[in-house]
Amino acid sequence: MNKPLIPVSSPRRAPLSRRQFLRRAGVAAGSAISLGIGGYARSARGRPGPNDKLNIAVIGVGGRGASNLGSVASENIVALCDVNEAPVLRAARQYPRAKKHSDFRRLFDQEKDFDAVVVSTCEHTHAFAVLPALQLGKHVYCEKPLTHNVWEAGVILEAARKAKAATQMGTQIHASDNYRRVVELIQTGAIGPVREVHVWVSRAWGWQSDEEARAHHDIVSIRERPGGSSPVPAGLDWDLWLGPAPFRPFNEVYWPGPKWYRWWDFGNGTMSDLGSHWNDLPWWALELAHPLTIEAEGPPPHPELAPASMHAIYTYGARANLPPVTLHWHQGTMKPKPFAEGAIPKWGDGVLFMGERGMLLSDYGKHLLLPEEKFKDFKAPEPFIAKSRGHHEEWLHACKTGEPTTCNFLYAGPLTIANHLGNVAFRAGAKLEWDPVRLQAVNCPAAAPFIQREYRPGWKLG
C-alpha cells in the first residue's frame, strides 16, 4: 500500500462560522467525518431504483445474522449461507425461494443472482466474505468488527475504494439520536477543547483472574485450550467454520457464539467487539483518524485468550483546528480515575469527554454535562445532524441512490484498525509508534505477527 488509509493530517483550517458549521453538518447527514461513497459499479441487472427491491445474499444467518436478515427483509432475499445447516433451514421456511449454501466461496460463483451481500459470519472470516463481494462491485453490509486484524482492514479499505459500492459496518448505535446530540455538543464547544477521553465497558469476556471469575460468576472462566475433542454437532461443517484459522478439534468452548470471541484465533475479545460501538462516539465527535502511539496494560498476555480486563492508551495529533487528544480504553475491572474517585456518576459503561470548560458523560442512550450545577442553565444547540432513517435502512437507501452511509468502510476501517491496535500493543507488550501508510509499528518488530497472520492452507485473502 502506497498511501495512508485516510489522510494522516489535514491542512489547518480557519474556525468555521456557525452558518458554515451547520451547513457542513447538514450535508454530512449525520457525521462530520462521514465519507461519501461516490458512484457504484452496476450489477448484472443495473442498480435498482429507489422504489425497486434489492436482491440480497445473506452470509451467516444464525445469531446476529438472523437479526440482520430480519432488518433487510423488505428486500428480495435470494441466497442464504451458513456453515451450520440448522439456521439456513429455519430461514428458508420464511424465504423458500432463496438458494441455500454452506460455503460462501461457492455463493460467489453465482454472483449474477444478487446485488448486495450481508455478512454476519464470525470475526475471523469477515474479510474473506467481504473482499470477493467488493471485487465484484456488490454492496456490502458487514457486522463489526470489519476484520480480524489490522492488515485485513487495509485490504478491505483498498477494495472499498475501488468498488465504490454502498458499504456499512454493523455499528447500530451510530444511528441513535443520543450519539448525534453528543457529537453536536462536542463539536460546538459546549465543554471547550477536548484533550482527554475515557471509554469503559464492564464486559469481562476472556482470560479471567480468580477475582474476575468471582466478580463475573455468570461467565465461564476459561484459562487454557482444552485437550481432546467433542462430537461435532449435527449439521455444522467444522472445517468450514474454522476457515483460515489454524485447525483445532471441535470443542464446546469455541462454538456457538459468542464463545469464540475470547480466542485470538477467531476473535479479539471485548476490544474489537464493543470497541466498535463505544470508541465510535469519540471517533466521530473528535474527528479522529490514525493514532500516533498506542500502549496497553493488563495481565500478562495469554497466547490463546484475549484479556477480560485491559487498559489501552492512544495518542492522536492535532486535527486541523482540534488539539491533540489522548483516548483511554478501559474494559472489565479497569476503570477511569474520575470513575474510581467518584468524580462522575458510576455508569456501568460510558464515554467521558474532558474539556477545558467541563465534562460530558454519555452511554448508548443518554448523556450528561458535568458538573451539573455549572450547566444547569445551559441551552443545547438546535439539532443539526440529520436524524438517521435507521442503521440498516441507511445502507439499503445508499445501495439504491448512491447517497452516503454514516458507517461506510472508509470510516469504519480506520476505526477497526485503531481498536485492533489496542490489542496489538497489549500482546506485544510495548508502546507502539504507528505508521498508517505501511501499517507497521515502526519501533516494534514484535508486533508484526499480531498485525497480519498466516492462513491455513487453502485460504488466501486477495
Q: Grid coordinates standing for 204?
A: 469481562
Domain limits, the chain: 31-172+391-405, 177-387+418-451
- Contacts of residue 331, defined as CB under 8 A and 6 or more positions apart, other chains included, come to 200, 201, 202, 203, 204, 270, 271, 274, 307, 308, 309, 310, 311
Q: Tell which CATH architecture fits domain 31-172+391-405.
A: 3-Layer(aba) Sandwich (3.40)
pLDDT tens-digit profile of 75-90?
999 999 999 999 999 9
Q: What is the pLDDT of residue 216?
A: 58
**Residues in the chain, overall count:** 462
User: What pLDDT sits at residue 224?
Assistant: 85
Q: Which residue has the cell 485450550?
A: 225
pLDDT the model gives residue 212: 65
pLDDT of 221: 62
The reported pTM is 0.89
Architecture of domain 177-387+418-451: 2-Layer Sandwich (3.30)
Helix, strand or coil, per DSSP, at residue 393: helix
Amino acid at 188: T
pLDDT of residue 205: 76
355 has which bridge partners? 194, 358
What's the rounded Cα separation, in Å, for the pair 232 and 249? 9
pLDDT digit string, tens, across residues 94-146? 999 999 999 999 999 999 999 999 999 999 999 999 999 999 999 999 999 99
Query: What is the pLDDT at residue 222?
Result: 72
- Regions of the chain with pLDDT less than 70: 1-47, 209-221
- The amino acid occupying position 61 is V
